[in-house]
Structure formats: C-alpha cells, structure tokens
Amino acid sequence: MLKVTNLTKQFSSGATKVVAVKKVGFKVPDGCFASIIGRSGSGKTTLLSLLGSLEKPDEGSIEVDGQDISKLSDHAQIKYRCQKIGFIFQGYNLIPNLTAIENVMLPMEFAGQPKQQREKRAKELLDQVGLTADQMQRKPGKLSGGQQQRVAIARALSNKPKLILADEPTGNLDSQTGDMIVKLLHGLAKSEDTTIIAVTHDLSISESTDKTFKIDDGVLKEV
C-alpha cells in the first residue's frame, strides 16, 4: 500500500518560490497500476521524485509498505531506493558499457545479493519481458528502444520492489511498442504484486490503468 498525506514541496529560485506539489494526498493499494497525468511543469516529476525518495518533502508523509520514508536519513534513503523502489525512465538510462543482463543484475549487486542468485533472477526477468538469450548479452546500443525499455523494466523489478515509478515509460517509443510495454507493466503489476505509478502525457495509458490522477499546478486530483 502506498499512502501519501498532505505532501508539499517548494523550490526557491532567487526571491521567487515555486510550490511544485501542494498538499497532495492519495492511496494506491498493492498490485495497482496507477497513472498521473498533467502538462509540463505541473509537478508530476517532482511528485515522482518525492515518492522515489530522490527529494525530501517540505511537509507531509509518504508511507510505503507501512514505513514513512519522508523522514529517512540519507543512508536509509539509499537502502529504501535499493530494496523498495524500482525506477523506469523515459530515456531508459541503461549503463551503456554493461550488457542487458548486467544492467538488470546491478540493483541486486547494490542490495548485496550473491552473484549466482542475481544472475538467475536477471535471466528470469529478461525472459519474462521477452528478451532472447542472445539479446540478454547485448549492450544497450545494440538493442532497439522497445528492447531497452524492457531491460529497464526488468532492472526496476530486480529487487522485487513494492513500488515501481515510471516516468513517461512510453515517451520514446512508437505507439505499437508503447502499447506492448503498457501491457507488460499491467501483467507485472499483477504477477509481482507491485504497485506501479506511471507519470505520462499519454492519455491512452491513463485510460488503461487501475487508477488515474491528474496534477495541475501541484494539486493532485483523482480522475
């Protein structure tokens, strides 16, 4: 369960203060695929950063699996991100000189899992997202955009996180590949019992998710 209460974050730019997220509150149950839509500058990326513990909120709380992450120390935040969160980025952000399987194994290495275990898990996940054995040994530069995003999804799932945060997961993909990725995320949310929050411009995604929120000038509303 993801529970957000009264979450506020503001940024200062000289004398100007911009409130990016205003008293946001919502709940998303486990295994739910939720989407947040909003135009550019509406605060959706800031909200995702707060949920992923990449930023600290000024006010409010975020509970993931019963743990308030808003007041974690820096060290605890790293541990939280490693064990409880999976990130999927619009630009995939795979490490270019590592193979697909090595990219998937990376978060498990940070979590301290033994090599054999992480190799087995990485193969399973890459197989689950549809990569062949040959593609698993390729570096990102030798994979298509859709394949790279599949690797990124497998990487996000590697430590069996409670929450996956996806920032425009289909933004760099054609519509057909984007649809396949969305279907994949739907399936994984159920099979891995993972909550997925996807930020998107793409209304076709938001129409297919279990819950949809709209954020406008930092204010979040369920649609």
In the complex, which residues of this chain contact another protein (CB under 8 A)? 45, 48-49, 52, 54-55, 75, 78-79, 81-83, 86-87, 89-91, 93, 95-98, 102, 105-107, 109-111, 155, 159, 167-168, 171
> Cβ of residue 211: shortest distance to another protein, in angstroms?
21
**Residue spans of alpha helices (H) in 6-92:** 44-51, 74-84
Mode of pairing for the β-strands spanning 219-222 and 2-13: unpaired
Task: For another protein, give the closer residue by CB, 77 or 210.
Answer: 77
Task: For another protein, give the closer residue by CB, 26 or 87.
Answer: 87
Task: For another protein, give the closer residue by CB, 4 or 157.
Answer: 157
Task: For another protein, give the closer residue by CB, 34 or 164.
Answer: 164
> Cβ of residue 81: shortest distance to another protein, in angstroms?
5
> Cβ of residue 6: shortest distance to another protein, in angstroms?
21
**211, 159, 202: which is closest to 181 by C-alpha?**
202
> Cβ of residue 79: shortest distance to another protein, in angstroms?
8
| DSSP sequence for 3-16 | EEEEEEEEEEETTE
**75, 175, 183, 85: which is closest to 128 by C-alpha?**
183
* CA-to-CA dists, residue 193 to 29, 41, 161, 164, angstroms: 10, 31, 9, 11
